[in-house]
Amino acid sequence: MRLPRRVVRQLTRGVVRPLLSPRFPLVLRRPLLDVTGRVVPLPRGTRRSRGTLGGVPTERVATREAAGPHQVLYVHGGGYQTGSPASHRALAAHLSRAAGAPVHLPVYRLAPEHPYPAAVDDVVSAYLALRDAGHPPQRIAVAGDSAGGGLVMALVLRLRAAGEELPGSIGLISPWLDLDLTSPLLAVNAGTDAMLDPNWLPDAVDRYLGVAGPRAAGAEQGQIDKRQIDTVLRPLDADLAGLPPVHVIAGGDEVLLGDSDTLVARIRAAGSRVDYLRAEGLWHAFPVFAGMLREADEAVAALGAAMRSDCAGGPASGPSGTTTSTSPAGGSP
């Protein structure tokens, strides 16, 4: 059921966007966003089941093409406050088909009831449990959108700080990485992003970090030291050398575009491999409309194929599009 881009843009701005506003009570936002996710059609033959990974409730989504043996851990977005497997089920199913692998969606704890580091802890627990179930890290791809992209980077940095082997592939869709909100594109693209209003982001940061702040929360739980907390919350300032292949997708009209631009530049400068689809004329997290929007279908198909290749040890072949950069550090854009 594909729709013209202008129609999907109007639906995003008129239906989805209002549900992300902090003026709307969370008790209503969460179920209504899940309902909007169910509107997007699933590929025929999609199967889903519920389980747990490391004590974290999880939904497993698999299409007929999901033969494996590799696995995908997908971390949904939603500003750390909303989102669930229901809101991202269609995206997960299309990614399963493209990657040829089951997709596991952890139901991580949400703010403000569970501030940082609860969500990071849950994602780490789910990943380690998937690995311990007999899936080598090289055969696991990790991916996420928006806040979920930030959690994926937090997962990778937490694993590296603990001396754990990293996953075989990383996929980031419109990742939210700068919680200090310093990018000038937040203001520049405020009028063009159909999904996000940058004025909502400070509220989401406050709820995610909690009243006591990230350092106090980490110290109370004894999870990680001060230096590691800073790194987990600020991936743009982290050492990005030695990462597995990273595949980044962003909309050229989105307010968080600066986060993707900066991450890609810093990964290249660190000598790691990265592919970048910077899709002009599209908004924040547009691939969630896979099944409805042609550009979303193409982006998810390319991401899935790249992750499949990475996990098989093959050459990188990441997403490509209107404005795309695909090169290792020092290569041509």
For the chain, give the mean pLDDT. Answer: 91
Q: Of 18-22, 135-139, 206-210, 320-324, which gets the smallest average pLDDT?
A: 320-324
pLDDT tens across 206-240, in order? 999 984 344 334 434 444 455 556 788 999 999 99
The pLDDT of residue 229 is: 61
Active site residue 169: no
In a 13 Å sphere around the CA of 134, the CA atoms on its Cβ side amount to 2
Q: pLDDT class for 70, splitting at 50, 70, 90? A: very high
pLDDT tens digits, one per residue of 165-186: 999 999 999 999 999 999 999 9
Given this model, what pLDDT does residue 189 score? 98
pLDDT at 232: 87
pLDDT computed for residue 284 by the predictor: 99
* Cα dihedral 270, 272, 273, 274 in deg (nearest 10): -50
pLDDT at 302 over 60: yes
d(CA 258, CA 196): 14
Q: Which of 84, 96, 146, 309 is catalytic?
A: 146
| pLDDT confidence band for 68 (50 / 70 / 90) | confident
Sign of the CA dihedral with 252 first, then 302, 181, and 86 last: positive
| Cβ within 8 Å of residue 305, ≥6 positions away | 98, 99, 317
- Between 217 and 278, name the one with better pLDDT: 278
DSSP lists the bridge partners of residue 51 as: 58
What is the mean predicted confidence (pLDDT) over 120-137? Answer: 98
Mean pLDDT of 271-283: 98
Q: Does residue 91 register a pLDDT over 60?
A: yes
303 Cβ contact list (under 8 Å, min separation 6): 95, 98, 99, 143, 171, 173, 247, 249, 287, 318, 319
CA distance 54 to 125: 5
Q: Name the percent of the chain lying above pLDDT 70.
A: 88
Q: Which residues contact 284 (CB under 8 A, 6 or more apart)?
A: 146, 174, 193, 194, 195, 196, 251, 254, 255, 256
Q: Span 256-280, mean pLDDT?
A: 98
d(CA 88, CA 94): 10
Average pLDDT over residues 174-202: 97
- Give helix 26-39 / helix 89-99 axis angle, nearest 10°: 40
Domains of the chain in start order, with CATH, are 5-210+228-312 (3.40.50.1820)
Place of tokens 């952890």: 106
